[in-house]
A and B are shown apart, each in its own frame.
Chain A
Amino acid sequence: MVFGAVFFVIVLATGGLDTGWTFYTPFSTTTTSRVTAAAAGAFVLGFSSIFTGINFVATVHTMRPPGMTWHRMPLFIWALYATAIIQVLATPVLGITLVLLAVERLFHIGIFDPTIGGDPILFQHFFWFYSHPAVYIMILPAMGIISELISVFSRKHIFGYTFIAYSSIAIAVFGFLVWGHHMFTSGQSILVSMIFSALTFSVSIPSAIKVFNWLATMYRGSIWLATPMCYALIFIFLFGIGGLTGLFLGALATNVHLHDTYFVVSHFHYVMFGGTLIAFLGGLHYWWPKMTGRMYSEFWGRISALLLFIAFNLTFFPQFVLGTQGMPRRYYDYEALLERNPQFEFDHQLSTIGTYLLIVAFVIMLVYLLHSLWAGRRAPANPWGAATLEWQCTSPPPHDNFASAPTVGDPYDFSHLRYDPETQGYIIDANRQPTDEAPHPDAGRAEA
């Protein structure tokens, strides 16, 4: 990964890239900006992705602990397994696409150059065959984290384990069937556009299955609004909006108007920032005690999450409005645009204010997290009362994680865990009777 990143630093230092991350031909094969170096960097980074995918598939198949059958794996692992499948199948296609792009630039083979018999739309097919599954690479692990958080912080067994597990695999598979929805206005034939539009609607189904199962998990659970749970709830809201706006883009008629506008920008920020990044922050706050051995301030954690939620919506919701009004994306000259279209100005300003608030939220987060490293309460092995295996070792874990193979049970069965006021964490108590006990009020506190 470092090697690949070096290429990108070189690109930035020597004039940058002006094709956009999509490298569309024929501009990318003729522009003088640093396309070949950027393609080389992306190629190297792709290997990191492929090898990770190979690693995870082999590990999940052959190296689970004794007693961990497929249906006793945490849902996070199911999500990572599905992600690994996509990484192995899709990333090599990006690799060869970048090779073809570099070869076209260096040797003028002519495969994408229409003046000598090449086909520029072929490049788009190659590119999006990877790049659509790539976004599922980004969202699947996030959804896996949310499954963990919702269950633990509702103190309730995850609802519909099997459905959630297999919906991850379904998203991985269906994600390969929809790449043409990025190409509706590119010259792709009507027949194939129709096929891709229909398939795009189907890919929303497994995601919806997950959302309904999470909500069903929360129903009649004992909701504990610790910071990780705040992020999980924010995820459901923002990813919900992001996913639903994807449907507008998947419909051919509306896509013609919304393609290349701010509507698209807002859609993918809702799913990638509101989805993946928020889930990442939820996971960061969930596993922070395990990784660092310290508890952070719950008060500031919740403040930051709330501020992040408000700021995010303030930043990106106006962009949906802008997009439907016709504001294009990747626009070069804002001054001229706003002179002719003053109706865009207000929403842009709202968006900008939102970004300032986002910065404030992140600075607060940085401060309290760093502060916890020095002055946070020492974390117990299991501050949240979770039942997955990582909580059975100390925080942080020792070198070999477990001295002997841990006992594998149902990863969402909390009935055997009891709060221990001395360590301010949960411990396994085989004698405890399952009840609907709410989390202990002291659990998760930063102060001892």
Chain B
Amino acid sequence: MTDHDPNLAHHFDTPAQQYAAGKLGVWVFLVSEILFFSALFCAYAVYRANHPAIFFDGHLFLDSELGAINTCILLLSSLTMAWAVHAAQLGQQRTLVACIGVTIVCAVVFLGIKTVEYSQKWEHGLVPGADFTPDMHYVQEKLDHHGHGAETSEELNARLLNLRTFFGIYFLMTGLHAFHVIAGVGVLVWLFVRAWKGAYGAHYFNPVDFVGLYWHLVDLIWIYLFPLLYLIH
């Protein structure tokens, strides 16, 4: 049946075994990724449960609109990724390449918006470091604008500590997520090139399927990050 199928690695007996083993392996990898992010969610949960003020203050400085747009972009990229798998399984070469391409574009736009957000934070000095010195006018303005201005300068200083912790967690969680998006773009570009060269079709679509699973996990994590960081009231 195999007849020296060039896509069948020599340590597998059948393509079905190879597909099952690969899929299981990728799922186990996704499990490890979930556990990798878990400590950050734990830090978030611990601080939010015990010091809710940190998150209340912090979220005032995030742009929910940009966050929502990013959510939609990632959801779209998940659709095009799943569509790519669909196309590969049906041998639809052009659709496959187009879908992978759109997925990459969505990912790059996501990163672009994140860059815009991060640079806004940088401009106003809201990046935690040895020297956390945010632009105090900006901070005061933002807090006042939402009706939660600080009464005294002592209170303002205390709430600066809140901001420091919040932005620490914000940059860690979105930063690690963005790192995974960047890595995903790298893998998607590789996949794009291979797909362009016609390596995938109804006879062999494993890599498209497996990269898709990884990409969906990246989306899943953002599905939780968005409400947790941006939509706090």
| SS of B interface (majority) | helix
A interface, size bucket = 35 or more
Most A CB contacts (10 A, CB to CB) among B24, B38, B51, B168 go to B168
CB B38 to nearest CB in A, in angstroms, measures 6
* B38 in contact with A96 (CB, 8 Å): yes
Q: Is B31 among interface residues, defined by CB-CB distance under 8 A?
A: yes
Expressed in whole angstroms, the Cα–Cα distance for A406 and B24 within the complex equals: 25
Q: Is B33 among interface residues, defined by CB-CB distance under 8 A?
A: yes
* B165 in contact with A111 (CB, 8 Å): yes
* A58 in contact with B24 (CB, 8 Å): yes
Residues of B within 8 A of A89 (CB): 31-32, 35
Expressed in whole angstroms, the Cα–Cα distance for A125 and B39 within the complex equals: 10
Closest to A127 in B: B39
* B36 in contact with A116 (CB, 8 Å): no
* A92 in contact with B168 (CB, 8 Å): no
* B24 in contact with A61 (CB, 8 Å): yes
Residues of B within 8 A of A122 (CB): 42-43, 46
* B46 in contact with A119 (CB, 8 Å): yes
* A63 in contact with B32 (CB, 8 Å): no
Q: Which of A47-55, A299-307, A347-355 contacts B (4 or more CB under 8 A)?
A: A47-55
Q: Is A110 among interface residues, defined by CB-CB distance under 8 A?
A: yes
Q: Is A409 among interface residues, defined by CB-CB distance under 8 A?
A: no
Residues of A within 8 A of B29 (CB): 50, 54
* B28 in contact with A62 (CB, 8 Å): no
* A91 in contact with B168 (CB, 8 Å): no
Q: Is A67 among interface residues, defined by CB-CB distance under 8 A?
A: no
Q: Which of B17, B31, B46 contacts A88 (CB 8 A)?
A: B31
Q: Mark B147-191, 1 if CB is under 8 A from A, else 0.
A: 000000000000001101100110110001000000000000000
With A54-B32, A117-B161 known as contacts, the answer to whether A107 contacts B21 (CB < 8 A) is no
Expressed in whole angstroms, the Cα–Cα distance for A261 and B161 within the complex equals: 38
* B25 in contact with A58 (CB, 8 Å): yes
Q: Which of A57, A58, A62, A92 contacts B36 (CB 8 A)?
A: A92
Most B CB contacts (10 A, CB to CB) among A89, A92, A125 go to A92
CB B29 to nearest CB in A, in angstroms, measures 5
Residues of A within 8 A of B122 (CB): none
Expressed in whole angstroms, the Cα–Cα distance for A133 and B78 within the complex equals: 35
Expressed in whole angstroms, the Cα–Cα distance for A61 and B186 within the complex equals: 30
* B165 in contact with A90 (CB, 8 Å): no
* B42 in contact with A126 (CB, 8 Å): yes
Expressed in whole angstroms, the Cα–Cα distance for A58 and B42 within the complex equals: 29
Q: Is B40 among interface residues, defined by CB-CB distance under 8 A?
A: yes
CB B122 to nearest CB in A, in angstroms, measures 13
Residues of A within 8 A of B1 (CB): none
With A118-B165, A122-B43 known as contacts, the answer to whether A92 contacts B25 (CB < 8 A) is no
A contact residues vs B (CB 8 Å cutoff): 50, 53-55, 57-59, 61-63, 88-93, 95-97, 99-100, 103, 107-111, 116-119, 122, 125-126, 129
